[in-house]
A and B are shown apart, each in its own frame.
Chain A
Amino acid sequence: MSCEGPPSAEDLMPKRPRYDRDQTCIKCKSHRGNLVIKHAVYCFSCLPAMLIRKFRRALSASLDPAAPPRGTPSRTPPPDVVLALSGGPSSTVLLDMVWKCFSVEGSGRKDERRQVGSVRAVYVDWSCLGGKSVVESLREACQRYGIELTMVMGEAAFDAAWTSAVGMPRPTSELLVNQHSDRLPFLPSPMGAGPSDPIATLRAHLASLPTPSAIPAMLRTLTRLLILNTTCALSCSVLMLGTCLPRLSVDLLENVAYGGGFSLGSEREESVSLPLGEVHVIRPLRDWSLKELGWWLHSRSLPVPRGVDGKPDRLLAPSGGKTLSKLTEDFVLGLERDYPSTVSTISKTATKVVPAEPAAYRCAYCLRPAQKNATRWKAGTAVLVLPSLADGGNDPLAPPKTPPLPGAQGLADGLCYSCYTHLTSRGGTGAGKVRSIASQDADRSGSTGMPMPVWVRRVREEEMKQHIGEFLLEE
């Protein structure tokens, strides 16, 4: 160490100001601060304005990044919006924020109110899996705000009658796949079978999943597709989700753990094309911490209809072992305590990466972009058959072959990597418990194949040929 005297103040780089060491609000600089948010102290008068500004900023950036400056009338009509409500804290804040910013009663400014058109709300009810429905509490809350609530039953994902309501072609028969084969080959529909019970079909689908971790992931996907299709059916083009920062970070990490890195950006923002139009999904609360959410709920005395443990996937959580979803949530919440800035770093990292190659097609299950040969990549990472049993000897220095094309076409060819993983990846803690936790009467599962949601369709050879027609040479 140097023996000279301590350096003078001018010699040192100025320290980054940490406002939580001060008692005064950083906005008005006069009142005593009441709450510390990311090292900045706010008083109770400045905090609501800061949070509303934050909400608007995220919304403007997502709705129309090239929008004219505040006060300038927009030339395009504002989009009609659907709010996806779960009954949890985030969606409660979302509902209140939208009312506050975009309604006359909520004292939103006239020019700012023009940012969105009509506002509706959608709730997907999973009470068929044994949980408590919060639809009545949500209906009351929506009535208070003057917003119409549409309820969709979770089992609608397996109900052929629902397809006509959302403009999808009605499937002629239930689509079944053989879940015991990695190619997920299609199975013939049972002869003379009438319309099946959607709840039983949903349970059979969940019971056929190979690991408990796949259940919350698939329930999330089903919820997302039900909401997206309903948004379109309501003639709305924007879907707002109440995803807050920790939840977004959990979703992003979970997506990485499922192998869904290709569509990482879709977790933050995405546009999905559906039979009735396109829906833009945005998350205006994506920069809100749990503290900010909690304060808003507290300061506005908002009741939260659903408790923390009321999520549908929690109902099906296995008693032994944890799902990837729960593990990721625990990990991120632990990080928020020990390394708080990491939670926002995860979200920021996701904005800086893009898919490594153009999408080859859309996943038949989740409708997200998928990369070419993703499912075969996985099959190529492990030797599952001895060569003598597969195709005899070959040149040992020849590049390894892509897993052979199956004779029969399978659903695997139309899936993205993560959906394929959910439907085929086996083993791990709690494996084997899925059947009992997802299905009260598991008679259907296993024996007749895995039923698929109504939007999953078997791609016919002619349709595939149509897509690649320009590249095919005459035989």
Chain B
Amino acid sequence: MVPNRTCALCHTSKPILRRPKTGQQLCKPCFFYVFETEVHETIIGTNLFQQGEKVAIGASGGKDSTVLAHVLTVLNERYGYGLQLHLLSIDEGITGYRDDSLKSVKRNQQEYGLPLKILGYDELYGWTMDRVVEQIGRKNNCTFCGVFRRQALDRGAASLDADHIVTGHNADDTAETVLMNILRGDIARLGRCTAICTKGEDSIKRSKPFKYAYEKEIVMYAYFKKLDYFSTECLYAPDAYRGHARVFLKDLEAARPSAIIDIIHSGEAFQVAQDVELKPQQFCQRCGYMASNELCKACTLLESLEKGMGKLAVGDRNRRKLDDEPMPQGMRTIPMFQRSATTDSASPL
């Protein structure tokens, strides 16, 4: 593409990039301005935060969470959100991957001066992902990791007494999730996956300020700001099925860049029909975390690992086999989930 002479926004400086989202050729300061302003408008337009809220930033050390920590720090200061920001990292126990990425989180902590809490799977569940993979192999290990991480984040945030968890999920992730839920027929998730903020009963608010930010623009922002992040993919094989949807989405984006935003819009434009029955939410009888069955998914998976039957835990077909197996002596369980009430009375920004 032939570069324009001047930036499409300020019309004075020389452009150095083409925005993936709009195709506009911009200079560096204008790109920073639009990127940060769009995140700010997402936050303000959706009343995401409340003044004085304690917010835990889910920090993995990857590009998304690194940029999120940076941008939230900048916006909090610039617009006076009055947020108490904390970094919250989950150590899944993947040697050669998470230990390295946590080093980058620690460097960011020092740079932004934010308090950091690291909670490990080992500490919470008594299992590291290395050991999980040792038992179940690489197939379906993402299911264990995803379920464990979700609960670990909630528990980590509860221990910080945080009101809100923010994650670096970007527009590409949201669009991919819409597609995945359609392909899997997961109606319950399809109905809520485009919500910018989700909050179960008695659980901490969880939101995605980068919901409309393109992944490529996040990388651009990190690149031009020279942010320190860890870019290696997880060592354990990615979900092959999700990989299909991801490749498809990238192809769509190449053919028409607005496809990502268009898919998110589709997801926001429909809802689950009233006559479709969804499982009511309840609380896990063993650990008190929110669940759709008697036991939450994390307790079920942990039990299967403890019984040495981790391979049977994914899917409902083998549930009876798992239940019939007696509990081993001294089986580890997840501690009871306790958290103080959130401060809903605070005023919005």
Contact = CB atoms under 8 A, between A and B. Distances in A.
Interface string B282-314: 000000000000000000000000001100000
Interface string A253-265: 1011111111010
Contact of B254 (A335, A352, A417, A429): A429
A464 interface: no
Contacts of A2: 325
B320 A349 contact: no
A398 interface: yes
Given A257-B263, A259-B258, A324-B255, 5 more contacts: A352-B187, A354-B272, A356-B271, A378-B258, A417-B265
A256 B248 contact: no
Query: What are the nearest 4 A-B pairs in CB distance?
Result: A261-B266, A259-B262, A262-B269, A400-B41
A262 B30 contact: no
Contacts of B185: 345-346, 348-349
A370 B40 CA distance: 29
Interface string A389-400: 100000011111
Residue of B252, B270, B308 with most chain A CB atoms under a 10 A cut-off: B270
B178 interface: yes
A423 to B, nearest CB: 12
A345 B79 contact: no
A378 B272 contact: no
Given A327-B252, A348-B185, A384 B268 contact: no
Contacts of B182: 252-253, 256, 346, 349
A404 to B, nearest CB: 15
A323 interface: yes
A349 B269 contact: no
Nearest to A11: B324
Interface string B3-23: 000000110000000010111
A426 interface: yes
A352 B276 contact: yes
A103 to B, nearest CB: 37
Interface residues of B, number: 64
Contact of A258 (B78, B178, B262, B325): B262
Contacts of B191: 353
Interface in A1-59: 1-2, 7, 11-13
A409 interface: no
Contact of B261 (A322, A381, A399, A418): A381
B255 A322 contact: yes
A400 B39 CA distance: 11
A305 interface: no
Residue of B24, B182, B308 with most chain A CB atoms under a 10 A cut-off: B182
A378 B256 contact: no
B190 A349 contact: yes
Interface in A397-428: 397-400, 417-418, 421, 425-428
Residue of B190, B257, B321 with most chain A CB atoms under a 10 A cut-off: B257
A12 B312 CA distance: 14
Contact of B270 (A7, A261, A382): A261
Contact of B265 (A259, A321, A335, A430): A259
Nearest to B308: A1
A270 to B, nearest CB: 15
Interface in B229-254: 241, 244, 248, 251-254
Interface in A227-286: 252-253, 255-262, 264
Nearest to B248: A331
B307 to A, nearest CB: 8
Residue of A12, A264, A428, A430 with most chain B CB atoms under a 10 A cut-off: A428
Contacts of B253: 428
A338 B248 CA distance: 15
9 contacts: A252-B182, A256-B178, A259-B265, A259-B269, A339-B244, A381-B38, A381-B212, A384-B24, A425-B258
B45 interface: yes
A368 B320 CA distance: 48
A261 B265 contact: yes
B160 interface: no
B254 A321 contact: yes
A207 to B, nearest CB: 18
Contacts of B79: 396-397
B13 to A, nearest CB: 12
A425 B265 contact: no
Interface in A334-357: 334-335, 338-339, 342, 345-346, 348-349, 351-356
